[in-house]
């Protein structure tokens, strides 16, 4: 969590003084940081909402359970069970990625811990389990305590072969991590996006029809996944190589009520040969390592990408 960029140090210093004059400045600081770090890109709405929430609610005033949600299935966290994944439909076959196909999905709204202002996150315990548990009144030995410990183990664990990964506890750290992984050159080609899912209600369990599939431009992508913690921590990772593709999938609810509709980001990992055979995606999809695996990105799990260099 140590900021390295000069820009980040300036922002930290600035947000320290802004905090003394009231919190709302942190929202515009985060927005200004975004503009400077990712010029020309928009902060996704779901992320902006969580930044605002983190600014409006001091940590600890509201309890966010540190329990795994569907986001832990988006990366190889070791926390995703096949039964959790199967119940939501997060994994799918690449062949299902075509207009006219249907899938049963369930992405109910979950408690969404806020993204804390950088200066606040910097002053909260992160790596010290005992300190995290006592700061957030989580009884040692409880289910939540086990999940906080699992998140800390995940954040400390080395990346899988060919993967870059890091945990981030503020917007600034998340963006810095993503930009570092994408490569700082050619920053005009960056973009950021999230799935657009109704924030209240999510996607109720029903059949959804694929109405459109658009591949997003890029040969590198960083996916950030919410992990169990009393405030928002993302594990961001990038799989090096050109075997990942990202799509926007337009879905339409086919239940009786008409809708809801969603624009879901989806990753397809075309080369899974080196994945652990114990990855729940293989069990859910009944395929073996090596077969392409696709998955949706749950609510407010951002993806950062860099457009392919245009040939001269």
Ligand X SMILES: *[C@@H]1O[C@H](CO)[C@@H](O)[C@H](O)[C@H]1NC(C)=O
Give min distance, CB of 37 to ligand X, in A: 31
Complex with ligand X: residue 24 or 140, whichever CB lies closer: 140
Give min distance, CB of 125 to ligand X, in A: 7
- Examine residue 128 and tell whether it contacts ligand X (CB under 6 A): yes
Among 151, 148, 121, 152, which Cα is nearest to 137's?
A: 148
- Examine residue 83 and tell whether it contacts ligand X (CB under 6 A): no
Give min distance, CB of 131 to ligand X, in A: 4
Residue in 17, 36, 130, 137 binding ligand X, rule: CB under 6 A: 130
Among 237, 218, 219, which Cα is nearest to 297's?
A: 237
Give min distance, CB of 170 to ligand X, in A: 21
- Examine residue 123 and tell whether it contacts ligand X (CB under 6 A): no
Complex with ligand X: residue 120 or 177, whichever CB lies closer: 120
Site string for ligand X, 241-280 (x = CB under 6 A): ----------------------------------------
Complex with ligand X: residue 129 or 270, whichever CB lies closer: 129
Give min distance, CB of 217 to ligand X, in A: 44
Give min distance, CB of 231 to ligand X, in A: 17
The per-residue DSSP string of the chain comes to: ----SHHHHHHHHHHHHHHHT-TTHHHHHHHHHHHHHSTT-PPPHHHHHHHHHHHHS-TTSS-------GGGGTTT-S---HHHHHHHT-EE-GGG-STT-EEEEEE-----PPPPPHHHHHTS--S-HHHHHHHTTPPTTSHHHHHHHHHHHHHHSPPPTTEEEEEESSHHHHHHHHHHHH-STTGGGEEEE--B--TTT-EEEEEEEEEEEEEPP-SEEEEEEEESSSS-EEEEEEE-SS-EEEEEEEEEE-STT---EEEEEEEEES--TTS-TT-HHHHHHT--TTS-EEEE--TT--EEEEPPPPP-
Complex with ligand X: residue 83 or 123, whichever CB lies closer: 123
Residue in 10, 58, 99, 131 binding ligand X, rule: CB under 6 A: 131
Complex with ligand X: residue 72 or 233, whichever CB lies closer: 233
| Total residues at interface with ligand X (CB under 6 A) | 4
Stretch that binds ligand X, among 43-51, 86-94, 126-134, 176-184 (CB under 6 A): 126-134
Complex with ligand X: residue 81 or 123, whichever CB lies closer: 123
Binding site for ligand X (CB under 6 A): 128, 130-131, 134
């Amino acid at each position: 969590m140590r900021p390295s960029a000069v820009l980040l140090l300036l922002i930290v210093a600035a947000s320290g003084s802004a905090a003394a004059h009231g919190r709302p400045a942190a929202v515009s600081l985060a927005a200004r940081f975004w503009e400077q770090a990712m010029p020309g890109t928009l902060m996704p709405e779901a992320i902006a909402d969580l930044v605002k929430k983190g600014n409006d609610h001091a940590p600890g005033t509201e309890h966010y359970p540190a329990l795994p949600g569907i986001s832990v299935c988006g990366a190889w966290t070791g926390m995703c069970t096949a039964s959790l994944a199967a119940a939501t439909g997060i994994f799918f076959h690449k062949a299902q990625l075509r207009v006219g196909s249907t899938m049963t999905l369930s992405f109910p709204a979950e408690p969404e811990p806020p993204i804390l202002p950088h200066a606040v996150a910097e002053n909260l315990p992160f790596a010290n389990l005992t300190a995290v548990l006592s700061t957030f009144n989580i009884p040692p030995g409880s289910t939540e305590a086990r999940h906080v410990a699992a998140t800390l183990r995940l954040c400390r664990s080395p990346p899988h072969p060919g993967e870059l990964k890091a945990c981030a506890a503020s917007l600034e750290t998340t963006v810095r991590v993503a930009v570092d992984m994408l490569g700082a050159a050619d920053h005009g080609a960056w973009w950021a996006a999230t799935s657009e899912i109704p924030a209240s209600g999510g996607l109720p369990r029903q059949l959804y029809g694929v109405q459109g599939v658009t591949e997003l431009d890029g040969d590198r992508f960083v996916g950030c996944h919410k992990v169990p913690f009393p405030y928002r921590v993302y594990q961001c990772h990038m799989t090096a190589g050109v075997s990942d593709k990202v799509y926007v999938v337009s879905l339409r609810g086919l239940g009786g009520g008409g809708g809801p509709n969603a624009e879901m980001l989806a990753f397809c990992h075309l080369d899974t040969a080196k994945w652990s055979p114990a990855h729940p995606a293989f069990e859910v999809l009944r395929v073996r390592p090596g077969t392409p695996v696709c998955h949706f990105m749950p609510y407010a799990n951002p993806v950062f990408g860099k457009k392919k260099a245009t040939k001269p």
